[in-house]
Amino acid sequence: MSGHSYMLRSGAVEYELSCDRCGEVFHCGDDSYYSWPVLCDAAEAEGWRVNPALDGEHECASCASILVAPARSPAFTCGR
């Protein structure tokens, strides 16, 4: 689980999204961290793979790209 929420003294909730694999924390330049769905959208736009569930699996862009990259399929050679 890599999503965290913080209850601020003001009553607002901040969310933090970090990568399950390398621990990188997603930083957004705006106030997206006040809403988990918005934060997920912002992270996805940056290439992150996020789970809608706060305690789901989340991967940063670099880790996700490694996983998404298809395993090199064996080349089909016909004939010799």
Binding residues for Zn ion, per CB under 5 A? 19, 21-22, 24, 60, 63
Rounded to a whole number of angstroms, the minimum distance from the CB of residue 43 to Zn ion is: 11
Q: Are 56 and 36 in contact (CB under 8 A)?
A: no
User: Smallest distance, Å, CB 37 to Zn ion?
Assistant: 21
Contacts of 52 (CB under 8 A, 6+ apart): 37, 40
Q: How far apart are CA 17 and CA 51, in angstroms?
A: 10
Which CB sits closer to Zn ion, 24 or 32? 24
Q: How far is the CB of 51 from Zn ion (least distance, A)?
A: 14
